[in-house]
Amino acid sequence: MARNTNASTLIVGKSPGTVENASRLYIADCKSRNLSNATVSLTVIILKGLCDYLEGKPLADVTSHDLRKFFIKKATSTSSATAARYYECLHAFFKFLHKEGFLHSSPMTTVTKPKAPTPLIEPLAQEQIEAMVNACGTGFAGIRDRLILLVLIDCGLRASELCDLTMSDIDWENCIFLIRHGKGDKARRVPFGSVVASTMRQYLARRAEVDTPYLLVTVYGERVDRHRLRSIVKAVAAKAGITHKHMCTHLLRHTFAVSYLRAGGDVFSLQKVLGHSTLTMTRRYSELADSDIQEKHRLYSPGDRLKLKEKAGRRRLR
- The candidate with the shortest Cα–Cα distance to 147, out of 223, 216, 199, 206, is 199
Reported as a pLDDT band with limits 50, 70 and 90, residue 2 is very low
> pLDDT tens digit string along 170-194?
999 999 999 988 877 788 999 999 9
Q: Are 277 and 184 in contact (CB under 8 A)?
A: yes
CA distance 25 to 22: 5
Give the tens place of pLDDT for each residue, 262-278: 888 888 888 888 888 77
Whole-model pTM: value is 0.69
pLDDT, residue 314, reads 62
pLDDT of residue 13: 44
Long-range contacts, 178-182 (Cβ 8 Å, 24+)? 179/275, 181/36, 182/158, 182/275
At residue 303, the pLDDT reads 65
What's the pLDDT tens digit per position in 43-94? Answer: 999 999 999 999 988 998 999 999 999 999 988 888 888 888 999 999 999 9
Contacts of 41 (CB under 8 A, 6+ apart): none
Confidence bin at 297 (pLDDT 50/70/90): low
| pLDDT score at 1 | 39
Residue 31 has pLDDT above 60, yes or no: yes
Compute the half-sphere exposure of residue 118: CA atoms within 13 Å on the CB side of its CA: 5
Predicted confidence (pLDDT) per residue in 109-152, tens digit: 999 988 877 666 788 888 999 999 999 989 999 999 999 999 99
Domains in the chain with CATH codes: 19-99 (1.10.150), 126-299 (1.10.443.10)
**What positions carry a catalytic annotation?**
158, 183, 250, 253, 276, 285
